Every structure is written in C-alpha cells, then in structure tokens.
Chains A and B, each alone.
Chain A
Amino acid sequence: MGLNPRRDAGTDSDDRASRRRLLGWLSGVGLFGSGILSAFSNFVFIKPRATYGAPQRFTAGKPSDYPDGTRVALEPRRVCIVRDGNKLAAISTTCTHLGCIVGLSETGFACPCHGSRYDQDGTVTGGPAPKPLAWYKVSLAPNGELEIDKDVEVNPGTYLNV
C-alpha cells in the first residue's frame, strides 16, 4: 500500500488524502480524549472515598462526662473538649503552622514544634501560626452522646448548649 508512487498520483488521490486526514483526525481526537478521561479517572481513583485512618466524625461520651470548666485533650482524636457552664465546644489541637500537636498550657495552647501560642479560644497570641485553631461542629447524637465532626469547621465561639 502506498509503496508505488504512481498509485498516489492517480485521480483518487484527493479521496485518499481526505480519508487519511479523517483517520488522522479521528485517532487524534480519540487519543486525546482517552488521555483526558484517564487523567480524570486516575485522579478520582487516587482520591480515597473512605479513609482507613481515624474517622473524622466520632462520638466522645456524654456531656455529663465533662463537668463545668473542663478542658481535656483527646489526643488521638486531635481535639480538645471545652466546657464552660452549659456550653460545650471542640477545638482542634492541630497547630495551624505546620501541623504539630499543640499541648494545653496555663494560658490556652502551646505548640512544641516552633513555639506558636494560642489563648483559651485558640486565638494566636504568639509564634509563627498564621490562623487560630479550628473549632469543630459538636452535636448530640440520638443516644445522648456528643458527636464531633472534624470535617465541619464552625466559627470560633460557637458552642453547643447542653
């Protein structure tokens, strides 16, 4: 096919050329399309739907487990439960600087990694942290337990009344 130049020079050369162009165009579009599709599906594939690590939403006992004035860090969960009178909140203990775990201090929170300090509400009072500590949504599950959802951030100062 095509080895004999005289065949190409025949009257059907326009036909052949346009067929070739069509085939080339189809292959190009096909390959390009598959490329886009596979890039997209690989992205979807690689983004986990469910994570195997500690779940982002979990229950943390009954409100009565936390008497007035409690500030207790649930370390593996990376949150601190705060109770002030009838109001409860969950403040993140992940430092907003570079992700270390902050510890409780006299004045609020302190990060051991690069010395960021936060007050009781998680507002930055010193160090390189660029943002206040996150507050997470706290609600009451039907069985009366506290449910904390780390996927939902709420405005600092948003408490759950119990």
Chain B
Amino acid sequence: MSAKKQSVLANVRELPSNLWHSIFRNPLPHNDVERSATSFTNFFLHIHPVKVNKNTLRPIYTMGLGLMSFFLFVILVVSGILLMFYYVPSTEQAYDRMLDLRGSVAFGTFLRNMHRWAAHGMVAVVFFHMCRVFFTGAYKRPREFNWVLGVVLLLITLFLSFTGYLLPWDQLAFWAITVGTAIAGYAPLIGKQIRFLLLGDASVGQEALLRFYVLHVALLPAIATLLIAIHFWRIRKDGGLSRPARAEGKPELSISVQAVELDPKRTYGLQGLVRGPLVKVGNVPENSVYSWPNLLIAELFALVVTLAIILIVSLLFNAPLEEPVNVMHPPNPAKAPWYFLGLQEMVSYSAFWGGVGVPGLFVLLLILTPYLDRSPGGVGLWFSRKRLLANTVFLTFVIVNIAFIVIGTFFRGPNWSFVTPW
C-alpha cells in the first residue's frame, strides 16, 4: 500500500487480479508456511487441521466410509432440492408427479435414480462406517461422545430414508410404510400414540404423506446437518482421527480447556484461561504431513469415487415405481424397506421382542458401548488382539443383523413363508 496515487485506469487494469486475491488470500502454496496458511485462511479448508497424522491417510484405515456417508448426504440434499421443484405431497398428485418425472421432466428419471440409489447407499455406508469405527476401537476415550452422536446419526439416516420411502405413493411405498409404522405400534404404552402422531391419522393417508414430507425435506435434514457439523468438529477436538498409541497406556492428547481463575485482581488474556495441551504441533511431528495437499487429494478422490458410483448406477438402473396405491389390495407379501426387513423377520417370530424389545436393547447397547468398554488398549488397529471379545460380540451382532435382512429380503415369499430365490 503505497501512498502513490494510481490512475483509475491502472486500477481497472489490475481489477481481475485484485479481485482474485481478495477472494483467495493465499497463492497456491509452495512452502510449508504457505501450506499451513492455505488450510488456515480458507473457510472451506479450515475445517481441516494444518497437519494430519499419516495414519489418518491410510486408505485401509478409514476406508473413507465416513467421508462417503457425508458426500452421499450432500448428493441427496442437492438432488432432493431439485426433485422438490416438481413434487407435490398430495395423495391425488404424488404418483402422477412420479410419472411426470419419468415422462416429461428433463433428467427427471436420472435425478430420481440418483436420489433413490444414494439414499439406499447412505444407509449401507453409514452402517459400514460404524463397523469400521467399532473394529478399530475408535470409540474409546476421548471419542465416546462422538460415537454416541454417530449412533443418533445412524438412526436419523434410517428415519430419513424411511420417510422418503412413502413419497412416491405407489403400492411399494404405501404398504412398506403401513407395515413399518405397524412395527412402531408394538412399542408398549406409547407405541400406538407414536404411530398416531407419525401418521396424523389412524391409517396411512393424506395426513401421513404430508407429515412424512415435512420430516423428510425439512426437519430431519436440518437435524442431520447440525449433527454432522458437530460430529466433524468433535473429530478435531478429540485430537484428530484415532491411531495406534505410541506408548501403550498413555491416553492420547486431546484439546481440553479448563477455566482457572489465576488471580481475581488481574485482568488477563484468553490464553491465560487455557490449560492443558493445545494444538499438537510438534507432538508427533515425524509422523504427520500437511493437509494441503495430502488430505485434500484423498478427500477429492473419495468424492470422485462416490459420485462415479452413484452416476453409473443411476444410468444403469431405474428406481422402482409400482402400481398406484390401492388400499384394498395389499401385495403378498407386504415388505418394509430392506433395512427394516430384519426387524420384520424378527416380528414374525415375536411381535414385541422382534419389533421393539431386541432392537431397542440393541440401540441402547450401541449408545452405551464406549461407556461399558473402557479398556484403553487396541485403539487404531483393525481387529486388534486386545479387543478380541468386544470385536467378536459386535461381529456376531453384525452378521446376525445382515442375515436377518437377507432372509427377509430374499427368502420370504407369499404369506411370509420360506422360499428360495432361485
């Protein structure tokens, strides 16, 4: 900033470059200081730490599953908002709007495919992300609460998918939701009330469609966005992603802020309030690399892979659309969405235990996991020997869960009797 007066002409000549530099404060980085500054000063990049541990970047450690969940969520938000331009949540119009998407809206089928397949994909990927976190022991101190947030995110993901299932208002949608909400009705005492609140009526109809629509396009996405933001924030504050401890037994560092009154007579700066280890610059320097470009490239790669899979699947397969709703003629068998077919399978053995008791207990156990298993060992490694018991128990849960879903999906035919799919 020199005092020298510049001619307006010169200002105009420099305008493009000045504009550019006012938006992007840093040039493409060439040295470590600039690399730090890039992550630090860009709104979209500052979610990253300046440096990340090398373990974080090992592809087989996270498998990018959490990131893929997030990217699928983004794809769903974008495609969902576009679909909203044509969708009407009315029992009279909804189905016709589906036909219009197929017949007269440019890219309508494609968008619907993307939205549908990304939704199914997200349920699966979030579940596998949870498995990854468990088998690497990543829920242990200090990440207990992020695990709890994760469990809530899993439930919200399921609920988002479930509420979206009704919107096409075809036979598949109607009976899946009829069956799905009936399962909720099995909860003792409050089951019937919950079902009534959810449906806004005694059975699935216009009120239910409107309620599911509001939940699906407004309330649940807003909650999910907020929780995902906190989930990410806490990853940073918990000291980055989990990794093998260098010296066993020593808890990892994490940022903890404690307010201590130094001297009541003194005015002091904020630093004076902060106790305990702060940013881990120099903590494990030999084992960390700059986020720009290492982490960024890994993330972009995960994004491209996610996008590519969704695009290809959407080009190849069309989202199902069955006959319009016919309240008089349930299909045989009527099935809930696939991720609830394990539930439905269990409900066919015992209504209460299968539909409410076992799943409720399962969710409770999931939430309590990091508080029940407090042993510090085995964090940061897949299937650590130190966690043999915990991993075996969880693996059993996972296999049983998947087995029930597979049975319910492929091996149940008319009258819910056992059939072979081949």
Contacts and interface: CB of A to CB of B under 8 A. Distances in A.
Interface of A: 3, 5, 8-9, 46-48, 51-54, 56, 75-76, 78, 94, 97-101, 112-115, 127-128, 130, 150
Interface of B: 175, 178-179, 181-183, 185, 196-197, 200-203, 205-207, 264-267, 327-334, 344, 347-348, 351-352, 414-417
Contact of B178 (A5, A99, A115): A99
Contacts of A98: 178-179, 182-183, 334, 344, 347
A75 B203 CA distance: 14
10 contacts: A47-B196, A53-B201, A54-B205, A56-B202, A98-B178, A98-B344, A99-B181, A100-B178, A114-B334, A130-B351
Contacts of B327: 75-76, 101
B202 A127 contact: no
A160 B145 CA distance: 59
Contact of B201 (A5, A51, A100): A51
A5 B205 contact: no
A18 B203 CA distance: 56
B342 to A, nearest CB: 15
Given A98-B344, A127-B416, 11 more contacts: A48-B201, A51-B200, A51-B207, A53-B203, A54-B205, A56-B202, A76-B327, A100-B175, A100-B178, A112-B332, A112-B415
A113 B332 contact: yes
A101 B330 contact: yes
Nearest to A113: B334
A122 to B, nearest CB: 17
Secondary structure call for the B interface: loop
Contacts of B197: 46-47
Contacts of A94: 203
Contacts, number: 92
A112 B329 CA distance: 9
B328 A101 contact: yes
Contacts of B205: 52-54
B207 A53 contact: yes
B81 to A, nearest CB: 25
B196 A114 contact: no
A98 B265 CA distance: 69
Contact of A75 (B181, B328, B333): B328
A47 B194 CA distance: 10
Given A98-B179, A98-B344, A112 B203 contact: no
A52 B207 contact: yes
A76 B197 CA distance: 22
A52 B202 CA distance: 10
The winner among A8, A75, A114 for most chain B CB atoms within 10 A is A114
B179 A99 contact: yes
B17 to A, nearest CB: 44
B179 A113 contact: yes
A52 to B, nearest CB: 6
Contacts of A99: 178-179, 181-182, 185, 203
B201 A128 contact: no
Nearest to B336: A98
B178 to A, nearest CB: 5
Given A53-B207, A114-B416, A150-B202, A9 B334 contact: no
Which 7 interchain pairs have the tightest Cβ spacing? A115-B415, A114-B416, A99-B182, A98-B182, A113-B334, A100-B330, A112-B332
Contacts of A112: 329-332, 334, 415
B264 A9 contact: yes
B351 A97 contact: yes
A23 B203 CA distance: 49
B380 to A, nearest CB: 40
Contacts of B347: 97-98, 128
B219 to A, nearest CB: 11
A9 to B, nearest CB: 6
Given A52-B206, A98-B182, A130-B351, A5 B333 contact: no
A43 to B, nearest CB: 8
B266 A114 contact: no
A114 B206 contact: no
A67 to B, nearest CB: 24
A78 B205 CA distance: 14
Nearest to B330: A100
Contacts of A51: 200-202, 207
A9 B265 CA distance: 7
Contacts of A3: 267
Contacts of B264: 5, 8-9
A47 B327 CA distance: 24
